[in-house]
Amino acid sequence: MAEDEIQLKKLLKELFRSQLFAALATQQLARPYANLVAFAATDDLKSIVFATRRQTNKYANLLSNNSVSVLIDNRTNRDSDLRTAVAVTVTGTAEEVKKDQKEGLLQLYLVKHHNLEKFVHSPDSALFRIRVKRYYIVRNFQEVVELKIEA
């Protein structure tokens, strides 16, 4: 693995550990639709996990078109963000986690979001995994780097 790729993965892991929420983009009737989700990422960076209620537009959108994009950033809403903020766009496909694969991903999620335990254990909730295809990392205002994830 190239040194640059190692550094990018380290940057992603630090960002994902420090941030609780992400903006999830789906499609609703061929129109963009965005939601705020609490997320967790696997250590190998191949998956991002979030939970949602089944009776939501988000859930319906994910079932009708599983191509998604996620934005995670560390901005502080200050002028200095132009130099110091990092934003990552994640592209991939989302799927509801099957019961036989749920335990490990659920634990990963709850370590980060222990206050959502009742929510994720509700029969009305679904745990989703995004299988990451690419990361687009933006830093220093205009520097964009693409990192492809091998399946």
Q: pLDDT tens across 62-107, in order?
A: 999 999 999 999 988 888 777 778 999 999 999 999 988 899 999 9
Q: Which residues of 123-142 are buried (b: 16+ CB within 10 A; e: fewer)?
A: eebbbbbbebeebebbbeee
Average pLDDT over residues 8-19: 96
16 or 78: which leads in pLDDT = 16
In percent, the amount of the chain with pLDDT more than 90 equals 78
The model's pLDDT over 34-60, given as tens digits with 9 standing for 90+, comes to 999 999 999 999 999 999 999 999 999
> Could you tell me if 90 and 135 are in contact, meaning their C-beta atoms sit under 8 angstroms apart?
yes
At 143 the pLDDT is: 86
Rounded Cα distance between 109 and 107, Å, is: 5
Fold of 3-148: Pnp Oxidase; Chain A (2.30.110)
At 2 the pLDDT is: 65
How is residue 110 written in tokens?
A: 């709850």
Rounded Cα distance between 59 and 68, Å, is: 12
* pTM (predicted TM-score): 0.92
How is residue 36 written in tokens?
A: 């705020």
List the domain boundaries for the chain.
3-148
Residue 118 has pLDDT above 90, yes or no: yes
